[in-house]
Amino acid sequence: MRTPEAYKESLRAMRPNVYKFGELIEDVTEHPATRRSVEGHAQIYEQAMLPEQEEVFTTLSSLTGERISRYLSIIRSAEDMLANSRMKRRMFNLTGTCTGARCVGWNALNTMWSVTHDIDKKFETDYHHRLREWILYAQANDLAVAGALTDPKGDRTKAPSEQEDPDVHLHIVGWEEGGITLRGAKVMIAGASAANEIFVLPGSKYKDSDADFAVACVVPRDMEGITIVEARHPNDGRDLEEGFDNPVDIGGITQGYILFDDVVVPAGRVFMAGEFGFTGRLIERFITPYRSAIGGCVAGQGDLMIGAAVLMARANGLSERTFRQKLVDMSINNETTYGMGIAAAVLGKVHSSGSWLCDPLLANINKVHVATLPYETKRITQEIGGGIAETGCMPSWKDLGSEEYGELLRKYLTADADGMRRAKAARMIEWLTLGSGVPGTMHGGGSPDGARMFVSSKTGLEEKVKLVERLMGEDEQDPGE
């Protein structure tokens, strides 16, 4: 298993292919646009080295028996899923944000573990073996793997093959003996610049005319033909600031637009190529564990919001008792998403490939909570924090240090004891509720309306009607009949 430094070294050794603000980033570990994201992921490697975190962050490989990062393991039980939720909660506690360059790729490899098993059974292909070989390689090298499903999509009402420009969904443009050629893009990919490899999955359920879009594979992030353009972000420029305006330990969520310009993927790295009939179950098996464990992510960030709100109340000279009910509501929101995700895991079952499938109904219900409750928690945090927290409405750390007017600013920021502590807590709330700390759980992992459609299809209205009909005594004769 790799140390944080070995992980960063591996990124430095890659071909520079990440751009932002028109500039090619030579070293993603140092450049202000990507450094925080890399540092956040490096903390995962650090945690895995700690004896007290070993049980959560590492596990024994079901393929080799070797100790590996949990982020490259095959999830085989409810206990593994529980560790997934615990690990994500802890990572949000430590970085305040998302570390998608390990979690989404992990989710993708687990999805394909069962899906390749099913495809091989039907078509006698050897996808499962190929995936196994790649997982062995990934485990041996302790890779950071991002996951890429989201296509640009074009007109949302049209299937990929009906779009004016076929490239708005990543697709196969060449079928060579030794592999396939891909063209198109994947967008909003979390942690792309912090990843060694990118696990590509189809973005939706497809029909026969969309067979060329049904592609799953894994590619090195710096492969020939791949260009990544990082999204502009509220955190931009923060590295240029000083003091509490630029807290050192918080992570930095980044999303990349990944452009595929005729990328040739060797067959050994291809796990689906044209088997459109399996894309529906692929999507379901991706979103189910994802929407389960994401409850841990938002709870982990909620922990920080509760802590920041209490610190702010105290700095204002108020006791947290003033806000007891609000803090209780925040805690309820937190544990609802965490607990619901764990319930989805516990009610799961083993697939014949050996991987664990969480309960899809509960996981999708959790997605709706995850797209709702943390935003209410943010609202409460701002309410407790007051105006200086709401929009970070106060002078910078540098101005507070000014020889000319700093003393006056510090005097007017002081409420209880220390004005600087109050300012620090306020800046943290601004970050948690408005900036990079926003977990992106409205659409990350798919839209809540998509989850609602799933819930609708599984709710079983007629069964419920029958239950009530029985209680109403439908068979009994009505008076006068």
Adjacent-strand bridge partners of 179:
176, 266
Which residue's Cβ has the minimum distance to ligand FAD?
A: 440
Q: Cα(211)–Cα(169) distance, rounded to whole angstroms?
A: 12
Q: Cα(256)–Cα(190) distance, rounded to whole angstroms?
A: 7
Task: Decide: is 156 part of the binding site for ligand FAD (CB under 6 A).
Answer: yes
Please report the DSSP string for 413-431 in residue order: H-SSS-HHHHHHHHHHHHH
Site stretch for ligand FAD (CB under 6 A), options 13-21, 122-130, 267-275, 440-448: 440-448
Please name the residue ranges forming H helices in 13-126. Answer: 35-49, 54-57, 78-95, 100-123
Tokens 């700093």 belong to: 406
Question: What's the gap between Cα 398 and its chain centre?
Answer: 34
Task: Decide: is 132 part of the binding site for ligand FAD (CB under 6 A).
Answer: no
Give least dist CB 431 to ligand FAD, A: 15
Among 104, 117, 25, 31, residue whose Cα is nearest residue 72: 104
Give least dist CB 304 to ligand FAD, A: 17
Among 40, 96, 100, 160, binds ligand FAD (CB under 6 A): 100
Task: Decide: is 104 part of the binding site for ligand FAD (CB under 6 A).
Answer: yes
| For ligand FAD, the closer CB: 286 or 323 | 286
Task: Decide: is 205 part of the binding site for ligand FAD (CB under 6 A).
Answer: no
Task: Decide: is 97 part of the binding site for ligand FAD (CB under 6 A).
Answer: no
Q: Cα(337)–Cα(363) distance, rounded to whole angstroms?
A: 10
Among 27, 49, 141, 153, binds ligand FAD (CB under 6 A): 153
Q: How far is CA 476 from CA 96, 462, 465, 473, 481, in A?
A: 60, 20, 17, 5, 10
Of residues 2-61, those binding ligand FAD (CB under 6 A): none
Task: Decide: is 228 part of the binding site for ligand FAD (CB under 6 A).
Answer: no
Task: Decide: is 440 part of the binding site for ligand FAD (CB under 6 A).
Answer: yes
Give least dist CB 383 to ligand FAD, A: 24
Task: Decide: is 446 part of the binding site for ligand FAD (CB under 6 A).
Answer: yes
Q: Cα(221)–Cα(226) distance, rounded to whole angstroms?
A: 7
| Sequence-ordered strand ranges (E) for 195-254 | 197-200, 215-220, 226-230
Task: Decide: is 444 part of the binding site for ligand FAD (CB under 6 A).
Answer: yes
Rg of the chain on CA atoms, in Å: 24
Helix count (H) and strand count (E) of the chain?
16, 14
Task: Decide: is 189 part of the binding site for ligand FAD (CB under 6 A).
Answer: yes
Give least dist CB 463 to ligand FAD, A: 27
Task: Decide: is 190 part of the binding site for ligand FAD (CB under 6 A).
Answer: yes
Question: What's the gap between Cα 215 and its chain centre?
Answer: 21
Site stretch for ligand FAD (CB under 6 A), options 164-172, 185-193, 306-314, 472-480: 185-193
Site stretch for ligand FAD (CB under 6 A), options 116-124, 233-241, 420-428, 446-454: 446-454
Of residues 235-274, those binding ligand FAD (CB under 6 A): 255
* Positions that interact with ligand FAD (CB under 6 A): 100, 104, 147-150, 153, 156-157, 188-190, 255, 440, 443-444, 446-447, 449-450
